[in-house]
Amino acid sequence: MEERVATVVKNAGSHYLLCELPAWEPFPAVLRGKVRLQRSAATNPVAVGDQVRYIPAAEGEPAMITEILPRRNYVIRKSTNLSRQAHIIAANLDQAVIAVSLYFPEIKLPFLDRILVTCEVYKIPVIIALNKMDLYREDAPEAVADFHRIYEGAGYRVIDTSCKTGEGIDALREACSGKLSLFSGESGVGKSSLIKAIDPSLSPKIGQISLAHLQGKHTTSLYEMYPIRGSAPNVPRDSQEPAGYLIDSPGLRGFGLVDLEKEEIAKYFPEMLRVADECRFVPCTHTHEPGCAVKAAVEAGTISAERYNSYLGMLEEDGKFRKGF
């Protein structure tokens, strides 16, 4: 039977859902054994967003994935254990939407910066959704201003959002129009609630905050793509062709860098890259060298100390390694 091409829209361990986009008609599939062996360097040989070749199945049987086509880009993280394994979060993305909250749970800037660096490596544009603004607008205006200073100063778009009041939802919906967007972030930041606010017909799992640790409980355990209905101009909500697609990912509590050597990290901080050519020495690690333009910019306040400290933390991480997937 002739092979066809489809996109992976759900990863459920050893079983998958495929779809021949832009039509939204998912169907089940399994992975041919030899493909699994060829991709064994990662914990997941197939990621949501992958384009694959498959053999259509007989009625009542799953299709057979025979080949994973080359990826345009992907987001990857090192496993949280001490092994060298890594996990591909999603592939072939137009952008990533990183949801964060200032408190409940409290934001961890180094965690966010590791995701941003990974997206920079694979040239994936990022939007940061500063969520739960109904909690911060009056009670923490200085913290909100500081966050915008840090990340807009680095060159990222920040959209203030609130699922409770609707603030920023239209802007976020418009930003996702016509694109495949990965939604990611730490557990408990309201990522699934944002997805449902963008398209109320969607039903991602929505979890509660653990009051004992002020951290989110994991609610999304599978990677899954959803069609967005009615988010593009002149596209009715009942249109058969989606106005965009988004990938919901499990809440993350750790994000280790992969495919990156220590000497390369500074290249993926846009604000550092803008001034690095002015350093007296090339290459420059931006740590101890005299005449370092990056350190001078930190002292002048044009590069935030918070982002610079994240950079130093990445330099100190052990276990840097390079792999291709």
Rg (alpha carbons) of the chain, rounded to whole number: 21
End-to-end CA distance of the chain: 29
- What is the structure's pLDDT at 304? 97
- What is the structure's pLDDT at 13? 76
Q: In the predicted model, is pLDDT for residue 319 greater than 50?
A: no
Q: How confident is the model at residue 238 (pLDDT cuts 50, 70, 90)?
A: low
Closest CA to 223 of 7, 57, 61, 41: 7
240-256 burial, b at 16+ Cβ within 10 Å, e below that, comes to eebbbbbbbbbbbeebb
pTM of the full predicted structure?
Answer: 0.85
> Each residue of 271-310: pLDDT tens digit?
999 999 999 998 999 999 999 999 999 999 999 999 999 9
Of 82 and 36, the one with more pLDDT:
36
Q: How confident is the model at residue 261 (pLDDT cuts 50, 70, 90)?
A: confident
Closest CA to 76 of 270, 247, 256, 224: 256
Take residue 232 and report the two structure tokens written for it. Answer: 């593009």
Distance CA 129, CA 225 (A): 19
Take residue 110 and report the two structure tokens written for it. Answer: 């180094």
Establish whether the linkage from the previous residue to 200 is cis, with ω within 30° of 0.
no
Distance CA 63, CA 289 (A): 58
Tell me the backbone φ, ψ of residue 68, rounded to 5 degrees. -100, 120
Percentage of the chain with pLDDT > 70? 82
- What is the structure's pLDDT at 260? 78
85-99, 164-178, 197-211, 308-322: segment of lowest average pLDDT: 197-211
DSSP string, 192-258: HHHHHHH-TT-------EETTTTEEPP---SEEEEEEPS-STT--TT-SS-SEEEEE---BS--B--
Q: What is the DSSP letter of 42?
A: B
Q: How confident is the model at residue 259 (pLDDT cuts 50, 70, 90)?
A: low
- What is the structure's pLDDT at 58? 84
Q: In the chain, what are the domains?
A: 4-68 (2.40.50.140), 74-248 (3.40.50.300), 262-316 (1.10.40.50)
The mean per-residue pLDDT over the stretch 38-42 comes to 56
H helix and E strand count, the chain: 9, 15
Of 310 and 76, the one with more pLDDT:
310
Closest CA to 185 of 75, 31, 81, 292: 75
Of 188 and 324, the one with more pLDDT:
188
Q: In the predicted model, is pLDDT for residue 221 greater than 90?
A: no
Distance CA 41, CA 325 (A): 7
12-26, 81-95, 102-116, 167-181: segment of lowest average pLDDT: 81-95
Rounded to the nearest 10 degrees, the angle between the axes of helix 305-316 and helix 293-300 is 140
